[in-house]
Amino acid sequence: MAGARAAIRYAKAVLSLANDSNTAETVCKDMKLFAKTIAQNKDLSNMLKSPVVGAAIKKSALLEIFKKANALSVNLIDILTANKRLALLESVALEYIKLYDAQRGMQLATVTTAVALTDQLKTKVLAKVKELTGKSAEIENIVDQSIIGGFVLRVGDVQYDASISNKLNQLKREFTLN
């Protein structure tokens, strides 16, 4: 929990500095790259969390991987290194993205479907999210064939489950209760 609070504080500080220097969008792209790279590479993630690997080695590896990062993003790596908090880099990046999207009035809508969404369906889902929440959204489509058909829409803390598997489970519960 303390790590999560620290990540939020670092993210707020970086966002404030990025806003002051008009580089918030560029830094957001860097943060997305940081988060995606660390999440997809278990070796990198383990190295950042390892107490055995020295901070200087971690920092040099990160600077080598993220050569084209904005100066503010590199400063974040420097500060996390100095404060012995490099293990928080992925969390800070994710929190920054959330804060940046909230600042722009954007949110992430996750749509789980049995098959990939077409562009036409994405447009309809975006319109429905805008109607329900009053905010714009970015769509993340997760393909999960176990839902059989329909979709599961999740925006923030709200979830709407219109999947066939959910309806089948409801029928199953009704029959077992009677």
Largest interatomic CA distance in the chain: 65
Is the per-residue pLDDT at 1 higher than 60? no
Q: What is the pLDDT of residue 101?
A: 87
Mean pLDDT, residues 150-165 taken together: 86
Residue range 2-102 forms a domain whose CATH class is mainly alpha
Pairing label, strands 106-113, 136-143: parallel
Q: What is the pLDDT of residue 96?
A: 95
Q: What is the pLDDT of residue 54?
A: 92
Q: Which two tokens stand for residue 9?
A: 């504080």
What residue spans define the domains of the chain? 2-102, 106-177
Chain-centre distance for alpha carbon 27: 15
DSSP H/E element including 159: strand 158-161
Q: What is the pLDDT of residue 178?
A: 64
pLDDT tens, position by position, 63-121:
999 999 999 999 999 999 999 999 999 999 999 999 998 898 888 889 999 899 899 98
